[in-house]
Structure 1
Amino acid sequence: MAESVERLQQRVQELERELAQERSRRVLGGGDGAGGRRIEKMSPEVDSNPKNRLMALKRMGIVSDYEKIRTFAVAIVGVGGVGSVTAEMLTRCGIGKLLLFDYDKVELANMNRLFFQPHQAGLSKVQAAEHTLRNINPDVLFEVHNYNITTVENFQHFMDRISNGGLEEGKPVDLVLSCVDNFEARMTINTACNELGQTWMESGVSENAVSGHIQLIIPGESACFACAPPLVVAANIDEKTLKREGVCAASLPTTMGVVAGILVQNVLKFLLKFGTVSFYLGYNAMQDFFPTMSMKPNPQCDDRNCRKQQEEYKRKEAALPKQDVIQEEEEIIHEDNEWARRCCTC
């Protein structure tokens, strides 16, 4: 019985890979998408094509090659208040592929947030998101998974899609975005990315809805989520015990929209290599305060793969050729300098 279940699971994974390959061929080959015709070339010329306004960033010297955005695949875990808006922004920006992971359904209680609509209540969030996003931009390739990544069987599948779900099937995604609302899921993403050496960005909004943050995590180079964990994680407390009966977290579409915007702005800077990417950027709505900082990895991190990635990063850094710093000598102006004499006698 166990063997037959395992064979079925393997077959499901094979079919998913074949479906992803077929979708990749259709998108890369210029096939039509739902809701409109695929635009073969992004042009900086001004006309009714919205993509041309994105390409104007190249003409203005902000980005060297904006069209490269179509070559990237980004995985978003959590399609709620921050994740859904993040997915919409990346879709409008022309990302090549989005992989969406969430196990929840759309509820009428979600309508105080952006993106989802009342008629989508009852649908899985990933299904509702895919339908909306395809209509916004048919050029984007979507892959959706309606499950909880923290379970053992789903975690392995999640790892597989991060490793092989890139724009070209069999290659890893370019970036993972954490838009979840609990520590267990964040730690799961952290574990997966440390094991794979996968760069990711974490985001969150506070329970009182008036502050939030984003964080870039490069395994081995910067602190992972386990290097400096919140007290609830460090003390090994079950976060379910912290929930107060009859009390739900506050939710403001403004705060979530701001955090999603900051997150996507840094995603674009990271992928297209312009500006400065923030390793940590906070947002306090009460004072409009945006603190920034960077954290080095903890050599005694509890995650063994984080420690392994740190050693790998050190080896790579040591192998880089050292650059000699050449100090330019200060030019000495002699007293008989013609201009000096002229200035003294004027």
Structure 2
Amino acid sequence: MSVEELQKKISLLNEKVAFLEKQCRSVKREKIDEMSSEVVDSNPYSRLMALKRMGIVNNYENIRNFAVAVVGVGGVGSVTAEMLTRCGIGKLLLFDYDKVELANMNRLFYQPHQAGMSKVEAAEWTLKEINPDVEFEVFNYNITTMDNFQHFIDKIKTGGREAGTPVDLVLSCVDNFEARMAINTACNEIGQVWMESGVSENAVSGHIQVIKPGETPCFACAPPLVVATKTDEKTLKREGVCAASLPTTMAVVAGLLVQNTLKYLLEFGSVTPYLGYNALEDFFPTMQMKPNPQCDDNHCKRQQEEFQKREALKPKETILEVEISPVEHEDNEWEIELVSETTDEELKAAEGNVPVLSEGIKLEYTVPGSTSTTNEETVGNTELSIDELMSQLKTI
């Protein structure tokens, strides 16, 4: 028996085992329609709803109304999907065309017995076990092909919590620029807000970026060098060398991505336009850029024009000019009046007279028009240099 035939048999056995596990669930929690804030051990949402009591979120139960598409359910995407599931998101749409491999076991989420299964199928079965209240749609295909790309756009436009409505957010968790550009093109075309994420090949840095078509730079506005030069990514990989992968780095990036997703959907806190992560130095750089008017994506330029038109229609902030009248002191029944405590001598001194100096102290300059009690030259006619003047000051 060849290695390929053996792998196929193992894959079929894994699928059968997973199917039997799904059928043999003896206890299954019933779905609930509303999130309860009751503080009991049997309530899976009590800790989440406590965010309302803490004053962090005013409407956490609205999380059930949102639909999020996760493109790529690998190291970052699978953990992202799990976090959103545990948070009680209403609906998840999962896109990927890869299969689970034993080489993926250094990451979180997937388990050895799932090797050979499609990632979206394995993810769906696991996530349903975690929270059966979440609605799932999974798509096992490559979004960069022509036919699949159009289907991908249609699902983004109509795959919302309510049938026929768009999703609320798209999360890019892919590991190649071709897929990122496909997501960018689709979201620019339909004006869909999305968040991009990535981890470097050395596994010690990553980033997340919020992209609002027309308002912020799209992925093509400031493309990476590999995209700008139209270089084939396959030519950059060395034979026999694979990208490094740390579950810690991927979990950090996934956590930052989901955190900003919750802030965006539930409108609390502030969403960072771009947030980087350097694991070697625990450095989190941020930046904010403007969209490129000369972007190569025509849909991006169209979205920029539409955004500027919407901004122009917004009412301008008017600045009220308040006339400040001079303060008038009215007479009062207690006959209180303000009296200056400054003496005539103090006023005279303030007008330029030179005070009497102690013995050994001399003036380096005098106020023009005042009468000096010494015979020293004034600063107006001295020929000393700045350095000489500074040295004299130090001796005083």
- TM, length-normalised to structure 1: 0.85
What's the counterpart of residue 205 of structure 1? 199
SS in 1 for 2:197: strand
Question: Which amino acid is the alignment partner of residue 252 of structure 1?
Answer: L
What's the counterpart of residue 160 of structure 1? 154
Question: Which amino acid is the alignment partner of residue 153 of structure 1?
Answer: D
Distance 1:297 1:55 in 2: 37
Distance 1:227 1:288 in 2: 28
What's the counterpart of residue 272 of structure 1? 266
1:46 lines up with 2:45 in the alignment: no
Q: CA, structure 1 residues 47+195, in 2 after alignment: closer, same or farther (shift >3 Å)? A: same
Distance 1:333 1:201 in 2: 56
What's the counterpart of residue 183 of structure 2? 189
What's the counterpart of residue 133 of structure 2? 139
Distance 1:41 1:229 in 2: 43
Distance 1:246 1:65 in 2: 51
What's the counterpart of residue 232 of structure 2? 238
Distance 1:206 1:169 in 2: 37
1:169 lines up with 2:163 in the alignment: yes
Work out which structure has the larger RCO, using CA pairs closer than 8 Å and 6 or more positions apart in sequence. Answer: 1
TM-superposed deviation, 1:53: 1.2
Question: Which amino acid is the alignment partner of residue 196 of structure 1?
Answer: I
TM-superposed deviation, 1:332: 8.8
8 Å contact kept, 1:44–1:59: no
Q: Work out which of the residue numbers 90, 96, 100 in structure 2 matches 1:96.
A: 90
Distance 1:102 1:228 in 2: 26
The alignment's C-alpha RMSD in Å is: 2.2
TM-superposed deviation, 1:330: 8.8
What's the counterpart of residue 4 of structure 1? none
Q: CA, structure 1 residues 317+118, in 2 after alignment: closer, same or farther (shift >3 Å)? A: same
Distance 1:341 1:138 in 2: 79
The aligned runs of 1:106-117 (5 Å cut-off) are 106-117=100-111
TM-superposed deviation, 1:156: 0.7
Q: Deviations over 1:261-317 (max 9, x none)?
A: 000000000000000001100000011000111111100000000000000000100
Question: Which amino acid is the alignment partner of residue 209 of structure 1?
Answer: A
Q: Deviations over 1:308-329 (max 9, x none)?
A: 0000000100011112134778
What's the counterpart of residue 253 of structure 1? 247
Q: CA, structure 1 residues 190+335, in 2 after alignment: closer, same or farther (shift >3 Å)? A: same
In our comparison, the structure showing a higher alpha carbon Rg is 2
8 Å contact kept, 1:212–1:284: yes
Q: CA, structure 1 residues 154+333, in 2 after alignment: closer, same or farther (shift >3 Å)? A: same
8 Å contact kept, 1:105–1:123: yes
Q: Deviations over 1:173-215 (max 9, x none)?
A: 0000000000000000000000010000000000100000000
TM-superposed deviation, 1:40: 2.7
1:225 lines up with 2:192 in the alignment: no
Distance 2:325 2:124 in 1: 64
What's the counterpart of residue 295 of structure 2? 301
In the alignment, structure 2 segments of 5+ residues that lack a partner are 1-26, 342-396
Q: Higher helix proportion, which one?
A: 1
Distance 2:295 2:91 in 1: 33
TM-superposed deviation, 1:43: 2.5
SS in 2 for 1:310: helix
What's the counterpart of residue 30 of structure 2? 37
Q: CA, structure 1 residues 297+45, in 2 after alignment: closer, same or farther (shift >3 Å)? A: same
Question: Which amino acid is the alignment partner of residue 46 of structure 1?
Answer: V
SS in 2 for 1:128: helix
**Stretch of structure 1 that moved more, 329-338 or 228-237:** 329-338
Q: Work out which of the residue numbers 72, 75, 93 in structure 2 matches 1:78.
A: 72
Q: CA, structure 1 residues 81+302, in 2 after alignment: closer, same or farther (shift >3 Å)? A: same
- TM, length-normalised to structure 2: 0.75
Question: Which amino acid is the alignment partner of residue 149 of structure 1?
Answer: I
Distance 1:266 1:211 in 2: 18
Distance 1:333 1:223 in 2: 52
Q: CA, structure 1 residues 91+330, in 2 after alignment: closer, same or farther (shift >3 Å)? A: farther
TM-superposed deviation, 1:60: 1.2
Q: Deviations over 1:95-143 (max 9, x none)?
A: 0000000000000000000000001000000000000000100000000
Distance 1:327 1:112 in 2: 65
